[in-house]
């Protein structure tokens, strides 16, 4: 027995030595093991290889769980420092790795990364469950929560304790052991299916690109867009042909210009049928099961539907509130859309189909406003819009300046990096811009971070924006539509929210706010795209740098309320469809996707054959793989707030440093450190009202007398 004990002891020593050697080797070869030496701990993309991700994620979870176990089993009584702050400091390796991996899995993926994502997503879900369903850990959190008002905590710390307790409860911390086991299984399945859904949509979007044999069929498209289509065909080894790739929405940009009705129909059907056909990228069964298991999961958590669960910690609070906001706008929206459809049918001289709407809407806009989208694009060169528009507005409002950095590595040659300087000249953030589409990038546009700001951890923000603008052929300018211009301002509004974050704790940083508040800063920033001073500064001809003629400026401004019946209609259809899927009961059987979608649109009186939802169910990535389940309404809810806030600016002189500084200090810098409704009320002096939204949407006369502006002094 003694000999056996000696052997076991030596084996234990040998194992420990080998583990130390392995860890040392890992530290030398894996760029995630230690904080990046680059400015702001920016990711060292010149060193990162696909093979680095999985070991770092696995090691990160291992270390994170060890840290959590130490906190949960701490023999000392729970305190804010040894429990809440300790959790805020835990998991640095996992956070550092996941921030890069999952962002690139959306913007620059490949087969190996997709395989890693499929394997690691369920494990990461289990990792989260092991934290939130740990009874010892929750007992410590709850003990601090119960005495939070007597701990002499500052307001941010008190709110952090509130958030922790709420997050644990919403994650199932109060469930029985049996229900926790069931919940874990449902979470695992949801994670797996969501990953599969995203990958199927990405693959089918790429596979559904339309190949055009003859240049004559592209009549109506600009020379630069035709050159870009030829370049994409060349990239796919289709010399002499043209490729029209798809964006994530149902309608496609090319449909505005193409004269060929047959080609418009082909593109529209390719777009609208993504994921809705037999084959490897069919998403219908995934959607069926995701809706069902979400309903089952939330029943365990004490909610009637997933929407009720989801909105419980949002500003809207209940599905009924969100649905009413949208439903109240349906009658006017449908009436406006039908009115415009009749005008377009007169113009077309025939019955319209959904693939005709964008084309004839453009013709009608030309007729009503003498507005030509192709002509307008000549004045929107991407780099000028960025420097003389987006950056210019940020300078006027907040005093920011930007310097492009060519010494910081990027993950794709199209990506650019800028250092951001505050009004006092001090550097305070990095910002990455990844604007052009490519086959391995998910559709749409978004903002995220590689590094979150945190005073506790001594971290400053590293933020990025992603879009899917058409990449021009070599030597050609990147001319974009005014819709794309608006997208640039929108996503940069998110970026400002992340860069201006000035909070202590990582959980509360930047855009860590409710979904129906997170779109507020981004949609607010869109307004500056059409501000007279800003617009004049960037809207210049790409060849001559001549200012856009006043007549064309007026046409663009006057046409902004044009086609609102369609624009709002396709949005409401998608948002109400989202609510339909997430208000099914836990006992609902698997549903047939197309039948359910049609029935839902009919139930909400938003079924319009000429105006399909912005996203059909089978490629609605926002809700099945993007964190917006029962939350797509948030864009409209945030619009209500952002229009109201913009009218505050209009009432007080508009684009001024004084106004910008107030907005920065009272909204953009606060992250999720306080209740968003109270935050907005302090800024505005009252709750938001709907009048500005209706006016901006053209659903109410602009001369409607708005309520008098209250004093700017915040309520105590």
Residues marked active site are found at 491
Residue 541: strand, helix, or coil: coil
Beta bridge partners of 420: 402, 429
Pair 364, 566: CB distance under 8 Å: no
Question: Packing angle between helix 676-684 and helix 634-651, nearest 10 degrees?
Answer: 20
The half-sphere exposure of 65 on its side-chain side, counting CA atoms within 13 A, is 15
Measured CA to CA, the distance from residue 678 to residue 640 in angstroms comes to 16
Residue 498: both structure tokens together: 């992340």
Whether the Cβ atoms of residue 132 and residue 172 lie closer than 8 Å to each other: yes
Start-to-end Cα distance in the chain: 74
Residue 694 CA to its chain's centroid (Å) = 25
Query: Exposed, middle or buried: residue 567 (CB in 10 Å: 0-12, 13-18, 19+)?
Result: middle
* Burial group, residue 692, by CB count within 10 angstroms (0-12, 13-18, 19+): buried
* Whether the Cβ atoms of residue 561 and residue 699 lie closer than 8 Å to each other: no
User: Are 82 and 71 a contacting pair, CB within 8 Å?
Assistant: yes
> Any idea which residue has 């528009």 for tokens?
389
The three-state DSSP-derived secondary structure of 437-501 is: CCCCCCCCCEEEEEECCECCCCECCEEEEEEEECCCCCCCCCECCHHHHHHHHHHHHHHHHHHCC
CA–CA gap between residue 480 and residue 664 (Å, rounded): 29
DSSP class of residue 78 equals P
Continuous segment of H or E residues that includes residue 212: strand 210-212
User: Which single residue is written with the structure tokens 């939330």?
Assistant: 298
Q: How far apart are CA 334 and CA 322, in angstroms?
A: 19
Closest among 647, 583, 648 to 326, alpha carbons compared = 583
C-alpha–C-alpha distance, residues 623 and 614, integer Å: 13
Nearest partner of 137 among 186, 207, 98, 82, judged by Cα: 82
CA distance 273 to 24: 51
Helix (H, G, I), strand (E, B) or coil at 565: helix
Alpha helices (H) in 175-305, listed in sequence order: 177-207, 223-235, 261-272, 284-300
- Among residues 395, 417, 413, 414, the alpha carbon closest in space to that of 404 is found at 417
Order of strands across the sheet that contains 446-451: 401-405, 416-421, 427-436, 462-469, 446-451
Extract the tokens encoding 176: 């029985």
Tokens found for residue 525: 């920033």
On whether the CB atoms of residues 71 and 83 are closer than 8 A, the answer is: yes
């Amino acid at each position: 027995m003694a000999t056996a004990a000696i052997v076991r002891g030596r084996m234990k020593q040998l194992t420990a030595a080998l583990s130390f050697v392995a860890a040392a080797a890992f530290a030398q070869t894996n760029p995630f093991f230690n904080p990046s030496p680059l400015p702001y701990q920016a990711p060292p993309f010149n060193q990162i290889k696909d093979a680095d991700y999985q070991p770092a994620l696995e090691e990160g979870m291992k270390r994170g769980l060890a840290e959590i176990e130490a906190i949960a089993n701490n023999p000392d009584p729970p305190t804010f420092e040894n429990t809440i702050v300790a959790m805020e400091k835990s998991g640095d390796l996992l956070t550092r790795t996941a921030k890069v991996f999952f962002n690139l899995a959306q913007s620059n993926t490949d087969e190996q990364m997709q395989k890693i994502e499929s394997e690691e997503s369920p494990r990461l879900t289990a990792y989260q469950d092991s934290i939130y369903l740990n009874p010892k850990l929750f007992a410590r959190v709850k003990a601090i929560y119960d005495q939070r008002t007597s701990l002499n905590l500052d307001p941010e710390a008190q709110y952090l304790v509130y958030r922790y307790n709420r997050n644990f409860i919403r994650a199932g911390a109060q469930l029985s052991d049996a229900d926790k086991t069931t919940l874990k299984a449902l979470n695992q399945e949801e994670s797996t299916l969501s990953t599969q859904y995203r990958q199927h949509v990405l693959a089918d979007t790429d596979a559904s690109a339309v190949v055009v044999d003859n240049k004559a069929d592209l009549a109506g498209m600009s020379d630069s867009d035709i050159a870009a289509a030829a370049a994409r065909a060349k990239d796919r080894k289709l010399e002499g042909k043209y490729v029209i790739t798809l964006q994530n929405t149902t309608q496609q940009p090319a449909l505005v210009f193409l004269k060929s009705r047959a080609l418009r129909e082909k593109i529209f059907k390719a777009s609208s049928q993504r994921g809705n056909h037999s084959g490897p990228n069919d998403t219908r069964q995934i959607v069926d099961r995701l809706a069902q298991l979400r309903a089952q999961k939330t029943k365990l958590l004490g909610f009637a539907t997933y929407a009720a669960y989801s909105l419980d910690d949002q500003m809207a609070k209940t599905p009924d509130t969100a649905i009413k906001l949208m439903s109240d706008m349906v009658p006017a929206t449908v009436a406006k859309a039908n009115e415009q459809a009749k005008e377009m049918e007169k113009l077309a001289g025939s019955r319209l189909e959904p693939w005709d709407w964008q084309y004839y809407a453009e013709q009608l806009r030309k007729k009503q406003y003498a507005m030509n989208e192709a002509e307008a694009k000549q004045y929107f060169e991407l780099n000028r819009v960025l420097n003389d528009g987006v950056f210019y507005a940020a300078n006027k409002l907040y005093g920011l300046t930007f310097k492009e950095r060519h010494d910081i590595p990027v993950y794709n040659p199209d990506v650019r990096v800028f250092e951001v300087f505050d009004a006092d000249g001090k550097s305070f953030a990095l910002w990455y811009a990844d604007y052009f589409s490519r086959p391995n990038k998910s559709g749409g546009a978004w903002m995220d971070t590689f590094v979150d700001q945190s005073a506790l951890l001594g971290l400053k923000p590293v933020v990025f924006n992603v879009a899917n603008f058409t990449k021009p052929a070599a030597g050609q300018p990147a001319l974009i539509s005014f819709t794309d211009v608006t997208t640039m301002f929108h996503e940069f509004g998110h970026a400002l929210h992340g860069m201006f974050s000035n909070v202590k704790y990582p959980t509360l940083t930047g855009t860590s706010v409710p979904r129906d508040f997170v779109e507020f800063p981004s949609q607010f920033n869109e307004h500056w795209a059409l501000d007279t001073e800003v617009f004049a500064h960037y809207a210049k001809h790409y060849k001559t740098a001549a200012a856009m003629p006043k007549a064309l400026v007026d046409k663009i401004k006057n046409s902004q309320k044009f086609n609102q019946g369609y624009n709002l209609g396709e949005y409401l259809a998608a948002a109400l469809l989202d609510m339909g899927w997430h208000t099914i009961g836990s006992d609902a059987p698997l549903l047939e996707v197309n039948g359910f979608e049609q029935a839902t649109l009919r139930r909400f009186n938003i079924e319009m054959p000429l105006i399909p939802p912005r996203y059909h169910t089978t490629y609605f990535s926002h809700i099945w793989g993007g964190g917006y389940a029962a939350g797509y309404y948030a864009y409209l809810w945030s619009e209500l707030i952002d229009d109201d806030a913009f009218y505050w600016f209009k009432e007080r002189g508009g684009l001024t440093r004084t106004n910008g500084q107030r907005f920065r200090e009272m909204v953009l810098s606060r992250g999720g450190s306080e209740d968003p409704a109270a935050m907005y009320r302090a800024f505005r002096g009252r709750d938001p009202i709907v009048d500005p939204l209706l006016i901006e949407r053209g659903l109410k006369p602009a001369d409607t007398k708005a309520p008098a502006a209250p004093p700017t002094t915040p309520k105590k």
